[in-house]
Amino acid sequence: MADVRKICPESLPCRLSYSRKTSFQGKLFILLCILKVDTGGATTHWVVTEDGKIQQQVDSPLNLKHPLDVVIFMRQETRVNYLKKLEKQLVAQKIHIEENEDRDTGLEQRHYKEDADCVMAKVPLGDLDLYDGTYISLESKDISPEDFVDSLSALPPDLEKPDCAVFELPYSIHAFQHLRGVQERANLTSPLLSKEDPIFSSLSHKLGRSVDDVGHRIHHGLLRNSSSWVLYNMASFYWRMKNEPQRAVDCVVRALHFSPREHKDVALVNMANILHRAHFSADAAILAHAALDLTSDLFTSHYTLGNIYAMLGEYNHSVLCYEQALQAQPGFEQALRRKHAVLCQQKLEQRLEAQHRSLQRTLNELKEYQKQHDHYLRQQEALDKHKLLQEEQILRNIIHETQMAKEAQLGNHQMCRLGYKHRSLYCPFDLPVRYHRGDLFEHVSFVQFGEEVSVASSVALVSERNSNQTAASPQLHPSVSGDQDPAAALWGSRLDYTQDIQRMLWPQRSDCAHEYPSVPPAHLLPTFYLPPETQGLSPVATLLYGSSPPLTVALPNCGPVPQPYPALLPASIDWPLEEKKLPDPSASQILQLRSGGWTLEQIGSRIAHVMKQATVPCWQTHSEAALFWRAKGNGSLALQCLRQVLSSAPPPPPPRPPHQRR
């Protein structure tokens, strides 16, 4: 256990000293060092004017509506620093978004001009007719269509058209009647047919002078032979030229049903073209693949599949099919152009997808930026909530400057003496000063207040002392001797400070830098307690701890606080604290010293017992209870007791006139 001893007279606030490094004396020394070192941190609140005077900024966020509320001030300063950090993040985020934003609006046009496949294709894939009609001719099967129709008989005025549906056909999966396009053939439609479509060369001109003549002869041929796969294929060619996919499907299904295996490829390729033009390209791909297993005409089947896969967006399969078609028939221009057009389109879509992902990423970043910006505006609004209005700040500055001018006229000066070569200035009191420049003091490099040396870039001339102290001002000295006590100059010579207290209250900068090179953590910062006995009140410690410790265990309860408070207090007094256990060892040592070594449980029980008996003024008991809860680490209950003290403590006695002081 550390050796605790009292080092203060009864007329001074009680301080503790013990052998450990975390003594209260050391903590108070640390706090004073922090205050001395940290005073240069609030640089944004002050500004140097053209004449060298240091004053507040007119629109400073630290000019508060409640300037005495230190909690709001600290939170305001934290919020200012947070807003500066957030503003830097927003600026960096905005720069990042602008640098990475994809602004390439001419990607497609430039791709068509620069890509080698696009140049070889000459036109985009969308400008090519992917419904280009294909068929396997009957002649390639060594079949002559003229043998199946009567091409010599005269034609009547009213020509008839082949109707394949009049011949009943049983359902057959081998005829691919399960495909959706076949089942819904009554609703099939197809785009306009170009006059240059290859299907127009599928029927020989030997069959008739016109398509209608050929259709009439096919009709009569089917009347004579209703099971001819050749006539059904010819009828489907006829209806393809007429661009009527419903009737073309009726004919080609029957052609497929009656075709022998070695000739089914004619009907399969025929049906694939019909369904492809009717926008059933997936069904058409099935039929074209089935034809590949049977046909010897690989070129037509692969070329047809290339067109179908290009329409489906299966670009890799389409390119493979076009390459197979070119192997079967090298140099075929349509297949070559389509291959390059597909490659061109594939690379274009890849680049467009990459651009879309980039734009989507930029959009997400913009949404996140907007969210952060809204948060910044909310924080700025919270900052402005406690900030004084600019007009009122200007008014306060005018009033302050007027008061300073009035004090200067009344002679409230601190007389300072110039030293060696006008580079040193000696002032007798360590008091706040106003700074301004002048010809006489332009080269002053430091100012000495009593025994403390403070390096300054400008000169301390006029003291900001309260005007109501003019009559009672002590004698001002033109210089300060080496043995003069700065504390005595400030507070009067009646206080007999020891050398340790002198060093603790007035640490030198070198002492701070040597003993505490860095700011200690929060839990090592010192706390303070002002006993009621120092104000001439009755010895509360004797009344509380004069008897033996209590046997029962209880905790002091200060109860609810009456409102309003009798004095102007900061709004943060009423704020709730988070229930974080932060025991105060200094408060524990003070309580043990005042009680004579009792435990905290015994001290709490005695305070609770005295509260019930009311033998001690309630505000003094509540003050002791607040010290107890500080030692326990319960800030909320400590504040609750202090609120009771603020509500019930009597006002301080008026100060004695100067001529009655000793």
Q: Are residues 517 and 604 in the same domain?
A: no
606 located within any domain: yes
**pTM for this one?**
0.50
108 located within any domain: no
Round to whole Å and give the CA distance between 69 and 568. Answer: 10
Q: Are residues 241 and 141 in the same domain?
A: yes
Q: Are residues 508 and 628 in the same domain?
A: no
Q: Which DSSP category does 655 fall into?
A: P
**Mean per-residue pLDDT, 93-107:** 84
User: Which run of H or E residues covers position 335?
Assistant: helix 333-386
Looking at 237, 260, 277, which one is the last position of a domain? 277
The answer to whether 200 and 241 are in contact (CB under 8 A) is yes
Q: Which of 417, 645, 570 is nearest to 71 (CA)?
A: 570
Q: Which of 275, 227, 235, 265 is nearest to 252 (CA)?
A: 235
> How many CA atoms within 13 Å lie on the side-chain side of 136?
30
Q: Considering the chain, what is the average pLDDT of its residues?
A: 76
Q: Measured at the alpha carbon of residue 531, what is the angle toward residues 529 and 536, in degrees to the nearest 5?
A: 150
Q: Are residues 143 and 272 in the same domain?
A: yes
Q: Are residues 521 and 531 in the same domain?
A: no
296 located within any domain: no
The residue that leads in pLDDT, 412 or 165, is 165
Per-residue pLDDT, 460: 36
Q: Are residues 511 and 571 in the same domain?
A: no
**Mean per-residue pLDDT, 630-645:** 86
pLDDT in tens, 153-162: 878 888 899 9
24 located within any domain: yes
Sorting pLDDT into bands at 50, 70 and 90, what band is 558? confident
Per-residue pLDDT, 486: 39
Q: Which of 642, 613, 648, 602 is nearest to 625 (CA)?
A: 642
Looking at 224, 254, 277, which one is the last position of a domain? 277
Question: Does the pLDDT of residue 63 top 80, yes or no?
Answer: no
293 located within any domain: no
Q: Which of 51-65, 194-208, 274-288, 393-407 has the lowest mean pLDDT?
A: 51-65
The residue that leads in pLDDT, 104 or 269, is 269
pLDDT in tens, 322-354: 999 999 999 899 999 999 999 999 999 998 998
Calculate helix-pair angle for 585-595, 600-613, nearest 10 degrees.
Answer: 70
132 located within any domain: no
Round to whole Å and give the CA distance between 231 and 34. Answer: 107
Q: Are residues 520 and 546 in the same domain?
A: no
The answer to whether 85 and 589 are in contact (CB under 8 A) is no
Main-chain phi, psi angles of 483, to 5 degrees: -100, 10
Q: Which of 88-97, 408-417, 587-596 has the lowest mean pLDDT?
A: 408-417
| Cis amide prior to 564 (ω within 30 degrees) | yes
Sorting pLDDT into bands at 50, 70 and 90, what band is 440? low
pLDDT in tens, 443-475: 666 666 664 444 333 333 333 333 333 333 333
The residue that leads in pLDDT, 658 or 17, is 658
Sorting pLDDT into bands at 50, 70 and 90, what band is 406? low
639 located within any domain: yes
Question: Does the pLDDT of residue 422 top 80, yes or no?
Answer: no
Round to whole Å and give the CA distance between 135 and 400. Answer: 101
Q: Are residues 512 and 570 in the same domain?
A: no
Question: Does the pLDDT of residue 130 top 50, yes or no?
Answer: yes
Tokens of 62: 């630290």
**Mean per-residue pLDDT, 291-296:** 91
Question: Does the pLDDT of residue 428 top 60, yes or no?
Answer: yes
531 located within any domain: yes
Question: What domain range is 540 assigned to?
Answer: 527-648
pLDDT in tens, 388-403: 777 777 777 777 777 7
Question: Does the pLDDT of residue 495 top 70, yes or no?
Answer: no
In this structure, the dihedral spanned by the alpha carbons of residues 469, 474, 476 and 477, taken in order and rounded to 10 degrees, is -160
Q: Are residues 612 and 583 in the same domain?
A: yes
Q: Are residues 519 and 637 in the same domain?
A: no
Per-residue pLDDT, 389: 78
Q: Considering its fold, how many domains does the chain have in total?
A: 3
Looking at 277, 299, 314, which one is the last position of a domain? 277
The answer to whether 613 and 591 are in contact (CB under 8 A) is no
Q: Are residues 147 and 226 in the same domain?
A: yes
**Mean per-residue pLDDT, 341-370:** 91
Q: Measured at the alpha carbon of residue 566, what is the angle toward residues 562 and 568, in degrees to the nearest 5?
A: 120
Question: Does the pLDDT of residue 311 top 80, yes or no?
Answer: yes
What are the Cα distances from residue 364, in Å, to 90, 104, 121, 138? 15, 19, 37, 61
Q: Are residues 568 and 628 in the same domain?
A: yes
Q: What percentage of the chain carries pLDDT values higher than 70?
A: 69
